[in-house]
C-alpha cells in the first residue's frame, strides 16, 4: 500500500509540473499576442486572426491548465502535509497572484477583441514580465524552502 501512495505522489507531482509549464507558457504568450493585436487595425483580417489565436490560447491552454494546476497542487499539498509549512503559504500567495493576473489578462484580451485598447503596448510589455518574476519566486520557495 505504501508503494501505491508513493507512486501516486510522483504522478501528481509530474502532472502538476507539466500543467504548470503549459499554464506559464500561456501566461507568457497572451500579453505578446495582445501586443500584436494592439497594432492591428480594428476590423482587419490581421485583427481577426489575432483574436482567434487569443481565443484558442484561452480555451485550449490557459483555462484547462490553471484548473489542473490548482487541483493537482492542492492534492499534493494535502499529500505532503504542506499546510503547516511557511514556504507553502508564501507559494500559495504567489500562485493566487498569478491566478489573479491570469483573470485580469483574459478580461483585457476580451476587451481588445471587442475593439477596445484598455492597455498601451508599453503596459502590456511590463505586464508580460510578471509571470517570469512570480515563477522565479515560486520555484525558489518550492526548491529551497527558505522558511
Instruction: Give the annotated binding-site residues for heme.
Output: 16, 91
SS3 42: coil
Distance CA 9, CA 3 (A): 10
- For the chain, strand residue ranges (E) read none
Neighbours of 139 (CB within 10 A): 12
Cβ contact 38:117 at 8 Å: yes
Show binding-site residues. Answer: 16, 91
* Cβ-Cβ contacts under 8 Å for 123 (sequence gap 6 or more): none
Cβ contact 33:25 at 8 Å: no
Give the CA dihedral 117, 119, 125, 128, nearest 10 degrees.
-100
Amino acid at each position: 500500500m505504501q508503494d501505491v501512495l508513493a507512486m501516486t505522489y510522483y504522478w501528481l507531482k509530474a502532472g502538476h509540473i507539466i500543467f504548470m509549464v503549459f499554464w506559464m507558457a500561456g501566461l507568457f504568450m497572451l500579453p505578446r499576442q495582445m501586443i500584436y493585436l494592439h497594432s492591428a487595425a480594428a476590423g482587419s483580417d490581421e485583427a481577426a486572426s489575432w483574436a482567434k489565436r487569443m481565443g484558442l490560447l484561452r480555451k485550449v491552454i490557459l483555462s484547462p491548465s490553471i484548473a489542473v494546476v490548482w487541483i493537482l497542487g492542492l492534492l499534493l499539498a494535502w499529500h505532503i502535509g504542506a499546510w503547516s509549512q511557511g514556504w507553502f503559504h508564501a507559494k500559495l500567495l504567489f500562485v493566487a497572484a498569478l491566478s489573479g493576473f491570469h483573470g485580469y489578462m483574459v478580461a483585457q484580451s476580451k476587451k481588445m477583441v471587442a475593439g477596445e485598447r484598455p492597455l498601451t503596448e508599453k503596459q502590456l510589455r511590463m505586464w508580460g514580465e510578471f509571470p517570469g518574476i512570480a515563477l522565479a519566486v515560486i520555484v525558489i520557495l518550492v526548491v529551497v524552502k527558505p522558511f
